[in-house]
Amino acid sequence: MHETILEMRGITKTFPGVKALQDVNLEVRAGEIHAIVGENGAGKSTLMKVLSGVYPHGSYSGEIVYRGAECRFSGIHDSERMGIVIIHQELALVPLLSIAENIFLGNEQASWGIIDWNAVRTKAAALLKTVGLNEDPDTLITNIGVGKQQLVEIAKALSKEVKLLILDEPTASLSEKDSDALLALLVEFKARGISSILISHKLNEVGKVADRITILRDGRTIETLDKADISEDRIITSMVGRTLEDRYPARTPNIGETIFEVKDWVVYHPLHADRQVIKGVDLSVRKGEVVGIAGLMGAGRTEFAMSVFGRTYGRRISGEVFVHGKRADTSSVGKSVACGIAYATEDRKTYGLNLIDHIKHNISIANLRGVSSSAVIDDTREFNVANDYRKRTNIRSSGVYQTTGNLSGGNQQKVVLSKWLFANPDVLILDEPTRGIDVGAKYEIYTIINKLAEQGKAILMISSEMPELLGVCDRIYVMNEGRILGEMPAAEASQERIMRMIVRGEARAEAEADEEKMRTAS
C-alpha cells in the first residue's frame, strides 16, 4: 500500500471573467514522480501555485491535505517550511550573484545577523555534488548555461529540506542531454523518498519517468493514469478531448523562386571580439517553402537569426542578405521589417511581447502605419485588426483587451505570430515557435505555418525538436558550431542522418582546431 503524501480536493480558482480551476482533485504518493499534463491554459501552473501558496488560502476554494493534515498556506514561505518547494518555468535566480549566494538567498546561513561564508560555500559545494553539478560555488550565475542553472534551482530546493518537489516545465529550454540528466536526478530523488510533481509538455519524457499521470483539461481533472496505462495516444486524447490522427497537418508544397538568400554570413561574439560565432553561412528559402535549421544547443542557430534580423546579436558582422534577388539592408530592426523580413523570437516573454499590455497593442505594434491615418492611430481600425487576427489564429481570450501576460503560452505564441502576420512580411523566421506549448496548440501553430506557405511566404524555422522539423519542413539545413554542415530534403532526412552529420561535423571542427593550435605553436 502506497502512502498518500498529498491530497488536493475540489480546488476551484477564479480570476476576473475566467474560471481557471473547477473542482480539481490530485493525489500524490510518497516517493513517486507524478506528472501533470494538459493543454496550455488547462490549469496546471495555477494548481501548483495554489499548492505552493503563491495563491494563498482564501483566494481559492477546496482543501489541501499534506501528510494527513489540512494546510492553509498564506504564502510561499509557509509551504517551504513544510518541505513543499516549487521551481517555476522562469528560473528565479539572480544573474550577478554567485551559485552559493543564489542557493541560500532568503535562507541565509547566518548567526547574529552575520553570514557565515565558509558554511555557505561548504554547504553549497555539498548540494552541487548531490545534483551532479561540478562548478565552483563562487561562479556567477550569468556565467553558466540554462541546464546548469536548472540544477542550481534544484540544489536550492534541497537546501530547504524538500519533501515534495514541484517542477514546472523544467526541460523546456534544455538540450536533450541536459534533459536526460535532470530526469535521471528525479529518479535518484525518488529512491531517497522525495516525491516530485512534474509538469511537462514533452510526453516522451513524461512516459520515461512518471509513475502516474494526472491529465487536466479546461481547468478540470480528466483522469489519472498508472504507469502501465500510459501511452502518448491516450494522453493526447484526454488532453485535447479528441484524437489527433496526425501530429502534423498535411500540406502539398507549391514552391517557387528564391525569395530569401544569405551569403557568406560571419558574426563575432558581442563580448569576446576574437570569437567567431557564425562562420560563413550560406542558405536560401524559396517562395512557399518551409526550411528548417536543425542543430544541438549552442549550434548558433538563434545567433544567426538575430544577427540577420536587424543585427540584434553580434559584432563585426559581414555577408549579404537578398530578398527577391535584391540586396537587403538589415542593419536595424526597422530596416529589416521594411525589407519584408520578420523574426518571431524563441523568448516570447522577454523579446516577443509586452506582457503588461493587452492583445490589441501587441498585434499592431510592428505595423502601426496599418492602423493609422495621418500619423494618428485609428482606435477602431486597430480594434478590428486585432479582433480579426484573434479569430484567424484562434487566440483563446476574453477579448483583445485581455492582458497578454495572462494568456497561456500557446496563446501568447499566437499573439506573436499575429503581430508579424499583420506586418505582412515576405520572409518569416520562426525561432522555436512551439517551445513550451502543448500538442493541441502545436497543431494549430503548424496549421498557421502551412497557411503562410500556401500564401507564398518564405519560412525559415529553427527547432530543437527533430520530429517537428521532419514533420513540417520541406528542406532542412544542419548547423553545428556556427557552420552549415549540409542540407537535405525533408523526405530524405531522418533523426539518425541529422545526428550523424552533426557528429561528423564536430570531429571535423576538432581536427581543424588542433591544426590551428599546431600552426600557432610553430
Q: What is the pLDDT of residues 220-269, one digit of tens each?
A: 999 998 888 888 778 878 877 755 556 788 888 899 999 999 999 999 98
Residue 333 neighbours by CB under 8 Å, 6+ apart: 309, 310, 312
Given this model, what pLDDT does residue 1 score? 45
Given this model, what pLDDT does residue 78 score? 92
In the sheet that holds 290-294, the strands lie side by side as 341-344, 427-431, 458-462, 290-294, 475-480, 483-489
Cell of 97: 550573484
Mean per-residue pLDDT, 411-438: 87
**Higher pLDDT pick, 507 / 83:** 83
Given this model, what pLDDT does residue 134 score? 84
Given this model, what pLDDT does residue 290 score? 96
Confidence check: pLDDT of 514 > 60? no
Confidence check: pLDDT of 510 > 80? no
Mean per-residue pLDDT, 489-514: 73
Cα 365 to Cα 127, 382, 470, 480, distances in angstroms: 46, 10, 33, 34
Confidence check: pLDDT of 197 > 90? yes
Q: What is the mean pLDDT of the chain?
A: 86
Cα 259 to Cα 285, 377, 483, distances in angstroms: 6, 32, 22
pTM for the model: 0.65
**Residue 129 corresponds to which amino acid?**
K
Domains and CATH numbers, the chain: 4-240 (3.40.50.300), 258-340+425-517 (3.40.50.300)
Confidence check: pLDDT of 518 > 70? no
Confidence check: pLDDT of 60 > 90? yes
Confidence check: pLDDT of 194 > 80? yes
Given this model, what pLDDT does residue 185 score? 85
Least confident residue range of 80-89, 329-338, 431-440: 431-440
Q: What is the pLDDT of residues 471-495, one digit of tens each?
A: 999 999 999 889 999 999 998 988 7
Long-range CB contacts (within 8 A, 24+) of 228-234: 230/206, 231/207, 232/203, 232/204, 232/207
Confidence check: pLDDT of 468 > 60? yes
Q: What is the pLDDT of residues 369-382, one digit of tens each?
A: 888 888 888 889 98
Mean per-residue pLDDT, 383-396: 87
Strand 61-66 and strand 69-70: pairing? antiparallel
Given this model, what pLDDT does residue 73 score? 93
Mean per-residue pLDDT, 104-128: 85
The span from the CA of 415 to the CA of 409, in Å, is: 10
Strand-pair partners of 286: 258
